[in-house]
A and B are shown apart, each in its own frame.
Chain A
């Protein structure tokens, strides 16, 4: 078997270890392995690794789901409050720190579009329930929103 074959076959080996290949690809791999000890040894290593995956803590899913749900509850601390404050402040010319929002952005991969004003995702029972935009709000409503946010910030 030539090195060219090895190069192609090695791309398939992780798939061969996990039943992710088409029958044609699998035939090609199995045929190659009959005469290539090197690729056979590599497949053995991959199977070895897969036989002892890191154990995932059993409670993790529950803990994460609870934490996410809690973080989305506006009654405690609206996650969107900072963004909403920033948007409201823009409208009113008031300087509000947006640092937490920037921290979030830093963790989100680049292919995610930045959240535009109209896309603010507001909770059902939030201050602006059912209206995912600040555009329609009166100045009074915006002031109310800012006051609530300031009260929270002080708390």
Chain B
């Protein structure tokens, strides 16, 4: 699911992009449906605000489709899209400043009234606690962990996205994981 050759409804990303360039709106819808979730998670990881992240994703997709002719098939559409989203999210933060305190609660609400059986409820709360802790890490660590764990990206791809080398992406990821394990104890 991590490369542009994955198929969904019979068309690869490369085929959909090609159709999109010639004005096929169904192909546009398919590309948006396929990649908006990854883009949203990237935007959320950077901005830590749901409403801001949604705006960022929308603006990023508009810009990406305007620049579709600049997209080359040698990069996966998904990582290209995620990189545009990450840039857009950072630009938004620069423009409007950062939103800090309330953001963490918005992103990882703790289950208060969980209808699951006791054991599942405990596991669920632990997962949500891990997510909340992830939000407290510095941006590059947070993003590296999220891109690796949620999106399955390589360290080279993560490096491109956080504006670092492959090695720096690896270090950020492992520092983030180590810090999370300390926080979870």
Considering only residues 130-144 of chain B, those with a C-beta below 8 Å from chain A are 130-131, 134
Q: By the criterion of a CB under 8 Å from any partner CB, how many residues of chain A are at the interface?
A: 46
Chain B residues within 8 Å of A18, by CB: 152
Which of chain A's residues has its CB closest to B38's CB? A56
Q: By the criterion of a CB under 8 Å from any partner CB, how many residues of chain B are at the interface?
A: 60
Chain A residues within 8 Å of B61, by CB: 64, 67-68
| A155: Cβ under 8 A from any B Cβ | no
Which of chain A's residues has its CB closest to B57's CB? A64
Given contacts A50-B150, A52-B108, contact A121 B130 (CB under 8 A): no
Chain B residues within 8 Å of A64, by CB: 32, 36, 57-58, 61
| B37: Cβ under 8 A from any A Cβ | yes
Chain B residues within 8 Å of A50, by CB: 149-150
Determine if A60 and B36 form an interchain contact, defined as CB atoms under 8 angstroms apart. yes
Given contacts A42-B177, A54-B107, A121-B21, contact A72 B65 (CB under 8 A): yes
Which of chain B's residues has its CB closest to A52's CB? B127
Question: Can you show 7 pairs from A to B with CB atoms below 8 A apart?
Answer: A45-B130, A49-B180, A50-B149, A67-B58, A71-B66, A112-B67, A121-B66
